[in-house]
Amino acid sequence: MTASSSSRGTYVYLAAGAAAISGLLFGFDTAVINGALLFIRAQFGLTEIDTEVVASSLLCGCILGAACAGMLGDWLGRRKALLAVAVLFCAAALGCAIPANVGQLILARFWCGVAIGVASVLAPMYISEVSPAQIRGRLVALNQLAIVTGILLAYYVNWQLAAQGEGSWRWMFAVAAIPSAAFFAAMWWNPESPRWLARKGMEEKAYTILCRTMEESEARKELRQIAKSLQEESSARMSDLLRPGTRLALGIAIFLAVFQQVTGINTVLYYGSIIFKEMVGQSATNAVGANVAIGAVNLLCTIGSLFLVDRIGRRGLMLAGSAGMGLALLALGFAFHGGQPSIHWILGLILLYVACFALSLGPCVWIYIAEIFPNKIRGRAMSVATLALWTACLAVTLTFLSLMRWLSPAGTFWLYAALCAVMFVVVLWVLPETKQKSLEEIQAFWVAGRSRVGR
């Protein structure tokens, strides 16, 4: 490897790594509520519905942020928009730490959600637009890896701070201001997306940045491809999503996005500490500490999925994962049905459930959605699917504690197990395998109206 190519590689990895810090904040701010809720409920005397609203307020912001992200990124540019998100992350973290009442906390969590929603769209987009094609996949995967790392970090911070007592939840939220500042500093030195510069007619600047990441001949070729892609996108319309072929792909993408959430993963990520303390009888510190094991399994299995997804395939992993999740949830229901269960039994089943999710639905749904649409409508279609995902996540978070009261813990987990069974059947009978298929081959499948291809 020559010095110049080594320098280009370092430049690309640093740029992608800087943007991926937003993924760490995404994971941290999403999961930190898990431990904080125990102390917030005690301090403010929250009911189940109040608790659901506090947990869900962030997701309302996520929906708004995801809906506005594309427009914001096109207006300000990817880099400037992410810098603004870094400021919002920091302000929201401090806002969550100092509220005098629940209403102020809900508002601060909402704005934190807006930051997450924008980052969830723009950070992967930015990374993909500054990365050479041959390493784009692994660099975009950095963002998903950063998310699960942020989740684990939140659980660990919560565990360490839980012993500080009733006011510890304020410090749990405040910690996020540190990586927020690091995110701002890192993005300050990052370049603008060459694709956005080309879109704004600044081809020379775009070419200069491309030359920092690849050979000059490759940079010229890439710039021509960007111009062609922009021309195709300019002719795209929302009605294109409902054309034969793409309509089926959109339906599948929305189904996957919704069922990734309604199979219950965020009941564990958001309410794990409540489950361990109030339903298994653990102390607050032990309940928060149990989540560290969950976060570690989530991280390790997400890393493992990166090595399996191109070997076993997206469909194969989703079949195995949804089956494993369903069995774990079924067993959880029986465990709670027999009275107060052992912490070791419940933790083991939850770890199995999280492992199956992290190996399958967690990464595979995002990969599948990114693959199945033609270039012309990919951005619009992924936005629709992402909004469906956040809406489903909101619905689950806003109803979990109420379902536990209405259906009992056993009935609630059996309901999620039944939804896993629905997921398994649809993946088995409807989804084509996209492993080792070119984007053009996948597009041809939908255009031909075929749903069972590439088995």
SS (H, E, C) 294-355: HHHHHHHHHHHHHHHCCCCCHHHHHHHHHHHHHHHHHHHHHHHHCCCCCHHHHHHHHHHHHH
Question: Do 289 and 159 contact (CB within 8 A), yes or no?
Answer: yes
Cα separation of 415 and 399, whole Å?
13
Q: What is the pLDDT of residue 214?
A: 79
pLDDT at 249 over 60: yes
Question: Do 37 and 358 contact (CB within 8 A), yes or no?
Answer: no
pLDDT at 332 over 60: yes
Closest CA to 70 of 236, 261, 204, 188: 236
Q: What is the pLDDT of residue 64?
A: 93
Cα separation of 417 and 271, whole Å?
18
pLDDT at 175 over 60: yes
In the predicted model, what is the mean pLDDT of residues 384-401?
91
pLDDT at 416 over 60: yes
Q: What is the pLDDT of residue 264?
A: 92
* In the block, residue with structure tokens 């996957």: 256
Q: What is the pLDDT of residue 365?
A: 87
Q: What is the pLDDT of residue 36?
A: 93
Q: What is the pLDDT of residue 446?
A: 60
Closest CA to 362 of 206, 281, 256: 256
200 secondary structure, DSSP code: T
The model's pLDDT over 105-155, given as tens digits with 9 standing for 90+, comes to: 999 999 999 999 999 888 888 887 887 766 776 777 788 889 999 999 999
In the predicted model, what is the mean pLDDT of residues 26-36?
93
Sign, CA torsion 411/415/416/417: positive
- SS3 of 242, please? helix
pTM: 0.85
Ordered domains of the chain (ranges, CATH): 1-190 (1.20.1250.20), 243-455 (1.20.1250.20)
pLDDT at 252 over 50: yes
pLDDT at 1 over 50: no
The model's pLDDT over 93-110, given as tens digits with 9 standing for 90+, comes to: 999 999 999 999 999 999
The model's pLDDT over 422-455, given as tens digits with 9 standing for 90+, comes to: 999 999 998 887 776 655 566 666 655 554 444 4
Q: What is the pLDDT of residue 121?
A: 84
Higher pLDDT pick, 61 / 163: 61
Q: What is the DSSP string of 245-294?
A: THHHHHHHHHHHHHHHHHTSHHHHHHHHHHIIIIIT---HHHHHHHHHHH
Cα separation of 155 and 381, whole Å?
33
Q: What is the pLDDT of residue 235?
A: 60
